[in-house]
A and B are shown apart, each in its own frame.
Chain A
C-alpha cells in the first residue's frame, strides 16, 4: 500500500478546490489598476501586400489611446525558430523572419497587422474597424504540393522555393534502405494525410503587459506553458529587454496541448504598448481569433512503404512527407516533423532499415507547431496504418504481425536505425494486457449483436512508443536546438519545517501541485500537506524549461529528487553535529535523522529549525539555512509505450461511426498518482478520437479558414466518446532517471488515431468492402459512406 499522500497514492488534487469554487486565477481574471485594453486587427486575406494603413480615423475614436502597426516594431527583432534543421545536402534551413506585427505583407487570414489600445475592450474593437488598410491581394498558397511546384509565388521572398528544408533521416542510410526495398519479397505502400488540427485549449490566450516607469521593470502575465522560455525569447530575440528587468507570470492556465509553448507576437505587443502608454495593457483572445492565430498541429501528407518477407517480418520502412509550416515558422515548428517524428519511425519494432524524408513547406495558413504528441502521433499513425495494410495483404493476423516484429524484452538497451537508444520496455506485456482487457474472445458475439442492430462491428489495434522527457541538452544541441532542455527545482525548507518547492515545470491541468508534493512527501518523509509547489513566475522559480512533451515528471521531477538529496545531505551534517556523531553514522529514514544502531534521532523539523536558528550548529564548516537548487539534464529520452484496442460500430446507412469500446494498456514506468495518470490517458484518447473521427482544419483555395468556430470545427463532446478502460500495470521503470518515470501526457493522442481507423477499416472489410484499404481522417460519415458506396 502506498503511503497516504506519497508515491503511488491516488491523492485527490489540492488545486481542485479553487477551480471548483470559481477562485481560479487565469490571466483574463487579472485586472490591474489603470489597465487599458488591446484589440488586434487581423488580415482578412491569406496573402497580400500592405500598400498603406490609415489609422487617423481610428485614433479619433472615443477612448482610443494608441494605434500601432508593423512600422512601430521595425526596431525590435523578430520571433525566432528554436531549432535549426539541416537539409539533406548539408545546407542550414531557411529562416524567414517573423515580425511582432505583419509588416510589408500579410501572410495568412488572421495575421495581425495593427493594434488598438483603448479605455475599454469594446472601444478598441470599434476602433479596429475604423482602420483603413489598402492591401493588394496576392494569389494564396494553400496546397503544399502547389507551393512546391510553383516557386514564382512565394510566402517569403527569402524562402525562394517555399521549402524551408529537405531533411533526410538518416541520410547516410538511404542507399541501404533503398537496396532493402529492391530485394524485398513484398512492399506495402500507403499514402495518407495526417489532418491539420486546432489545439483548442478551453482557455483562450490572454496577455497583460505592465511596464513600471518608476523602475523600468516589465511584467508580462500570459497564458504560457513555459514562462522562462517566453522570457528568454522576448529578452534575447524579440525586444531586447534584459532578463532581470522582465518578469513573466503564467498563473492558472486553462490547458495548453502545445499551443501555449510558443511566444506569440501579441505578448511583445502588449509590453510595447504598456511602455508607450505607461499603463497596463490587457488583451484577451476570443475563440474566433484563436482559430486564426493559435498554432495549429499535424498537417502532414505522407507516403509510407513497408518492405517485408512473405511471413511478415519487417525488412525496411521508407517515408516521404510534406509537412506544412504555415505562414511563419513557429518556435518549434521545425523539430516537430523531424526530430520528434523521423526518430520514432522504428516504433516498437526491430525493423533493420528505416529512412525518413521530410520537406517543410511554407503556405498562407496559420503557423503549424507541436500539438499534443507532436510528430510522434504522425509517425505512429503512418506506421500502424501501413502495418495493418501489410497484414491484410499478406493474410497475417494484425496481432501476430506486430508481435513477431517487436523488439524483445531481452534486447534492451536497443539502438534503432533512426538514432534513438530505447533503454527499456516490454511490448509483449502491454499487448498481452490489451488482449486480456479488450476481451478478444467475446468479439464475435458482440459483432453478432451489432449485426442484429444493422451495424458493422470492427476491431482496431495499434501499438505506440514515444520519446518523452525531452531531452539531453548536448544531444539536442548537436541536432540544431537553440536551447537547453533540462529542468530545475529549488527546495526551500522553512524554519518551522514546512517546505516550498519552486519548480521550472508549469501545471496547466496536469496536477503538479498535488503530484510534486507527493514526491517530496515520500522522499523527505514529511506530510504532503506541509509541502507547497510554486510554479509559473520567473521572479520566484529557478530557470526551468516548462511543460510539454510529457516531460514534467521525468525531467523536473528528477531535478526535485536531486535537490532533495542535497537537502538530506546537509541535514545529515546538521544532525551529526547536534547528535555528536560522525556524519557517516547518520541515517535518514522516513523524516528522521538518526545515529545508526541507536535510538538517538532528530526529526526533520528539528533539523530545519536548527538550520535557521543555528545556536547549536557547525557554523565553522556549514552555512546556515536549508535551501537547495538542482538542475537535471536527462541522460536520454524516456520511452513509454503501449497497445490500444478500439471497437467501432459503423452504420452502413449513414457512414456514421460509434466508438463502443476503447482499451489502453500502457507502460509509463513508475506511476506517482494513478488517478491523474488515468485522467491524462482519457484526455489524450479523446483528442485522438477527435482527430480520427471529428476534427479537421479546412481552408478553401483562397486561404479562407472554413472551420473558424465550434459550429464548423467539430470538437469531441460528451456523447461522442465512450467510457475508457485504461491500465498501466505493465511497468518497466526508466533506467536513467531517479524516479523510473517515463511520461504519460501524450500517450492517448499518439496511440488512438490508428486504432480507430484500423477498427473502421476492419468493420468495412468484415462487411465485404474488401476494396477499401484506407480512408483519410477525419472519418466523417460522408467519407465513410462514400468509401462504401462511391
Chain B
C-alpha cells in the first residue's frame, strides 16, 4: 500500500507493507538514513522523529498509521540556509556527540524538550533525555549543549 505523508515540509510517498515501521519507511522507502535504529524494543531513542511536533520513536510506529501527518526528521532540522540550527550548533560547540549514531535522536528529543519547556533545569533535561541512550559521551556534554541551546550559562554546569 502506498503511504503519503509530509516529511520535512514536503509530501512524500513510498510503498509499504502493513508491518512497515515508520523508521523503515523513512530509511528504506524515502532514503532518509539520518534516522537511526539502535534497538528493537523502543528503548534507545536513536530513531526519534517528530510527528505533528511531538517526539515519537519511529521504530514503534507503523508507517500506515502516520499517513497524512507531518513528520520532521534530522534532515529537516537545519536552518533554511543550510546552517546549523541553534540546537545543532550547541551540540557541536559543546562536543555533545562522538560517534554520531545516537545524535539524530538526541537532537530531536532535545528540540522537543525546548519547544515544550524553553528554560529547563539540568535535572529536567536529564529526566527528559532518559529515553535516549548515548554510549559515548556520558551525557555530560549533551546536557551542557541542551542547556546552552536554552540560553542558560552552560559554563556554570561543571568545573571540567
Task: Mark A residues whose CB is within 8 Å of B.
Answer: 12-13, 15-26, 28-29, 31, 122, 200-204, 252-255, 257, 286-288, 437, 508-511, 675-676, 678-679, 682-687, 709-711, 715-719, 721, 723-726, 748
Contacts and interface: CB of A to CB of B under 8 A. Distances in A.
Interface residues of B, number: 62
Contacts of A15: 100
A321 B68 CA distance: 60
B133 interface: yes
A719 B97 contact: no
B136 interface: yes
Main secondary structure of the interface of B (DSSP, over half): loop
Contacts of A710: 39, 41, 43-44, 133
B95 A19 contact: no
B46 interface: yes
A40 to B, nearest CB: 15
B99 A724 contact: no
Interface in B120-149: 122-123, 125-127, 129-143
Nearest to A288: B40
B115 to A, nearest CB: 18
Q: Which of B91, B123, B125, B136 has the most CB of A within 10 A?
A: B136
Interface centre among B78, B97, B101 (most CB of A within 10 A): B101
Contacts of A711: 41, 43
Given A254-B100, A288-B41, A719-B130, 18 more contacts: A19-B97, A20-B107, A24-B34, A202-B46, A204-B37, A254-B99, A254-B101, A286-B37, A437-B159, A509-B98, A682-B140, A687-B138, A717-B131, A718-B125, A718-B132, A718-B142, A721-B138, A724-B158
Contacts of A204: 37-38
Q: Which 7 pairs between the two chains have the least Cβ-Cβ distance? A: A22-B34, A254-B101, A19-B100, A686-B138, A509-B99, A710-B43, A509-B98
A709 to B, nearest CB: 5
Contacts of A122: 17, 19
B74 A682 contact: no
A203 B99 contact: yes
Interface in B49-71: none
B84 interface: yes
Contacts of B44: 202, 287, 710
B139 A21 contact: no
Nearest to A15: B100
B116 interface: no
A685 B137 CA distance: 9
Interface of B: 17, 19, 27-28, 31-41, 43-44, 46, 73-75, 77-78, 84, 88, 91-93, 95, 97-104, 107, 122-123, 125-127, 129-143, 157-160
B33 A22 contact: yes
A200 B135 CA distance: 7
17 contacts: A13-B95, A21-B74, A21-B75, A202-B99, A203-B99, A253-B99, A255-B135, A508-B99, A509-B100, A509-B136, A682-B141, A686-B138, A716-B138, A718-B127, A718-B143, A721-B140, A724-B160
Contact of B100 (A12, A24, A287): A24
B38 A682 contact: no
Contacts of A685: 138
Contact of A682 (B28, B100, B104, B138): B138
B138 A201 contact: no
A21 B142 CA distance: 16
Contacts of A26: 33, 36, 101
Given A20-B103, A711-B41, A29 B91 contact: no
Nearest to B32: A22
Q: Which of B19, B102, B157 counts the most chain A CB atoms within 10 A?
A: B102
